[in-house]
Each structure stands twice: as structure tokens, then as C-alpha cells.
Amino acid sequence: MTLSSLCGRLTLPLAFLTLAPGLCAADTYDKARQEMIAQIESDMLDTSAMVGRSRLSGKVLQAMKNTPRHLFVAEDYRDSAYENRPLPIGYGQTISQPYVVALMTELIDPDPGQKTLEIGTGSGYQAAILSSLVAEVYTIEIVPELYQEATRRLADLEYTNVKTRQGDGYFGWQEQAPFDAIVVTAASDHIPPSLVRQLKPGGRMIIPIGPPFLPQTLMLVTKDQRGRMITRQILPVRFVPFTRSK
């Protein structure tokens, strides 16, 4: 679902209108969105030596342009929604920096035929980005309140190819495995073996690895055709810790 298609509708559900006042007021966010894209492109150039590429693919760039980030943050933060930085979403969690969202999306090499798993739904923003790039998105959130809010938000915005689940993402979503790609949006001190098992041969997983609240390393994990795991360090990052059920 793109901004233009949303704004072109003659009628919208009441819940959507309540959720998204001002969505089609182009003057409100267009300039901020363009500035966000320019900053993402600048960051890609600055980190090209580490990342191994200097620009986003056209499809990922278009997904970032089309996804209304201001609808995935609290109303108090909407004026900051397109700044290139993480923002709090409650319950000790954040919506990731746009550059990091774009980079993680780029590195899994999304394709229209893919089935993708996300660990850490948060506000639903990363899932919304993925929804226009792959066939199916399965996303797991451990915080019940965030799960409920994101599920409602994604449904109201008609991201119909996104399926949500509340639970411990460490164990993945076995019933829907294997996945072509996995995106983990919280830092773990190791790569969960269950997620590796649920990754298809030839599939990719992007995950931050490192201790809580300290610099971590964004890691690209590729599973070869023999099922072996190949890892590559991308760049330093800082994510909230991977939350486990007690």
C-alpha cells in the first residue's frame, strides 16, 4: 500500500481516519520525507566501504519513500518522524533509525516471491517496509501491548500480506518455516540456532549481535546450499536488547 494509493481512496474506514489524521496532507510531511531519503543516501555513501555498496536499490528506496513513518510513531513524536534517528515507541522499545531500516532491508535482498520473518515487530514499521517488497511477512513481538497496537495499525493501513504473532521470537515461527529471509530488530549475544534452522538454503538473515546497551555489530548471516552458516560483519550499531520470555 503506497501513500498515493491510500490518498486516492474515496472512502476510508473510521478506524483508519482516527489513526491517520493528516495522512493525505502532502505539505505536512513531503519535505521531511525527502530530507530523510537524502540523509539515508548520504549515510549509504559514508558507510560504503563497510557495507559493500554505496546506494540502495531502487525498490528499497521506493519502499522507504512510500511508507508513512509518521503513522508508526506516537503522536507526540510525529514532528520528528522523518528525522534520521531512532524514536521511542514505549515499553522500553524504539523504532529504528531510517538508515538502519533501509540498510537491513537492502542486505536481505528482498524479492517479490519471498517469505520473510521479522523478529521484533515494534510499531510495525519494518514489517510495513517489507510488505511491499516480498510476498509474505511474518512478524513476532514479545511485548503484548506493542503486538496489539502494531496488529491493529497494520490492519487499519491494509498491509494485508503481514501476519503478526505475540510471543518469544527466539524460537521463530516454525509452522511457517522455512523463510527466504529473516530480519531481527533487537540485539542478541548470539545467533539463535532456531532461526538458522528456519532459514532456507541460500537465505539471508540480518541481526545485531552484542551486549545490551553497548555498541553491537550488525551481522549478515547467509545459509549456503549445504546448510552451513556464513557470517559477515557489516558495521557497528546500537539496538535494544533481545527480550526473552521468562
Catalytic sites, residue numbers:
96
Burial 66-87 (b: 16+ CB within 10 A, else e): bbbbbbbbeeeebeebbbbebb
The residues near 163 (Cβ < 8 Å, ≥ 6 apart) are 136, 137, 138, 139, 176
C-alpha closest to that of 39 among 103, 81, 99: 99
Look up residue 148 and give its DSSP letter: H
In this structure, what DSSP letter does residue 188 have? B
The residue behind cell 493525505 is 24
Q: Do 245 and 226 form a contact (C-beta atoms < 8 A)?
A: no
| 167: its cell numbers | 510471543
Give bridge partners of residue 208 from the DSSP assignment. 218
Q: How many CB atoms lie within 10 A of CB 233?
A: 11
In this structure, are residues 242 and 170 in contact, taking their beta carbons and an 8 Å threshold?
yes
- Alpha-carbon distance of 101 to 208, in angstroms, equals 12
Residue 36: what are its φ and ψ, rounded to 5°? -60, -45
